[in-house]
Amino acid sequence: MVLASIQLKDHLVEFMKHKYGVEDEDHVSIPPSDDLYYVLNKLRSKKPKNAPQSSGNFTFVVPSPRNSRDPEIYNYYSREAEKTIQSRINRMFKAEFHDFMDYRTDDCGDTITEASVLFASITNVRSIDTESLCKDYYRWRNKHRHRHKTRPYRFKAKKV
């Protein structure tokens, strides 16, 4: 088992630890059934000679699918790869958050503030403010929801 570390935003690290059930360990093991497993496999490369030791707040097991490159040698993630991974995890976070918010507000009748506080407490996300989660949901909802357009009222005054 080979471990790698990358730097991510704190709330994404907390989300990943919740998503994959990490409590006692300091690293996350991503299952092969997840798309992120293959993203991590594709982005790994051989460590350059002048590259510093990898350090970060998110430590995970380097994927090693059958008939793939050796994880003992190919276990380095560049800065561009870290940005790609962070973007992918952020999309996972927002997709799960928006789905949860839709369920809680539409089906359960919670307010948006109550639902965002509940999401933060369930996923143990403490490093991001619930108000910013609410704002994100408002922006997403206004952008992606269909709004009914009303016809403009055209009043023609009678000529006397």
- Taking only the tens place, the pLDDT of each residue in 58-70 is 999 999 888 888 8
Residue 156's pLDDT is: 79
Question: Contact 139/97 with Cβ under 8 angstroms?
Answer: no
Contacts with 11 (C-beta within 8 Å, 6 or more apart), sequence order: 93, 125, 127, 128
Q: Both tokens of residue 146?
A: 């269909």
Per-residue pLDDT at 23: 75
CA distance 52 to 106: 49
Mean pLDDT of the chain: 91
Q: d(Cα 16, Cα 147) in Å, to the nearest integer?
A: 34
State mean pLDDT over 97-113.
Answer: 95
Percent of all residues in the chain with a pLDDT value above 90, rounded to a whole number? 69
Do 37 and 30 form a contact (C-beta atoms < 8 A)?
yes
Residue 116: which pLDDT band, with cuts at 50, 70 and 90?
very high
- Under the banding of pLDDT at 50, 70 and 90, the label for residue 160 is confident
Three-state DSSP state, 50:
coil
Cβ count within 10 A of residue 4: 20
